[in-house]
Amino acid sequence: LVVGCGGNCTADVVKEAERVDSSQFDAILSVVPYYNKPSQEGIYQHYSAIAKASPVPVILYNVPGRTGVNMTADTTLRLAADHPGIVAIKEASGNINQMDDIIKHKSDSFSVISGDDGITFPLITLGAVGVISVIGNAFPKEFAKMTRLALEGDFDAARMIHHRFTDLFSLLFVDGNPAGVKCLLHAMGFIENELRLPLVPTRITTYEKIRKVLDSLN
């Protein structure tokens, strides 16, 4: 069980990390600081402080599309080498070359986890160990099966499942996340299609496209 513990004020994140109950959580997932766009050295110092304070292992989370700044492969590898408590990264930069660079040069004790459903299958073929998924909230059994098959080297079977969901991968982000996956879960009959402002439900056109793909999957 992993708890989110991130922000753009290092002191506040450190205080939050220090309070994590190690009997309840296996790790923390900490996003690259957003909005204030720190330098690579600032990102390094931010995570160094968190790693020193956290009573549980730390998983880095690189998602420049949301934070406004990319953590480079060099910074990731430097953090992994300098801090044994930093054990993995959820990589959602969308840059396959960057992810491959991390996988190529990392130690065996550091793991790369896909943060993007659409590239999970190819990323596993390069050496990633799994995924922290969006679509997995709606199709946990199927997406977990694809991941396991890919990790076992059964790429043909994994590719077939991957291709079943490629249309949904993009549709779930047309009107933002988590609006897309909540729309999907609503169409499946699990939840109400409600979000807290400033997030709003998907457009009707997106909803109908998601329903159409869902009908084809069924």
Within 13 Å and on the Cβ side, how many CA atoms surround 196? 0
Q: Specify whether the CB–CB gap between 3 and 25 falls below 8 A.
A: yes
Cα separation, 120 vs 186, whole angstroms = 25
Length of the chain counted residue by residue: 218
3-state secondary structure of 114: strand
Q: Which one from 44, 90, 106, 207 is the annotated catalytic residue?
A: 90
Tell me whether residue 90 is one of the annotated catalytic residues. yes
Output the CA torsion sign for 142, 143, 144, 148.
Answer: positive
Buried b (16+ CB within 10 A) or exposed e, 107-142: eeebbbbbbbbbbbbbbbeeebebbbbbbbbbbeee
Amino acid (one-letter) located at 35 = Y
Q: Which one from 44, 47, 61, 207 is the annotated catalytic residue?
A: 61
Please name the residue that has the structure tokens 């290092």.
Answer: 10
Cα separation, 172 vs 134, whole angstroms = 9
Q: How many CB atoms lie within 10 A of CB 24?
A: 9
- Catalytic sites, residue numbers: 61, 90
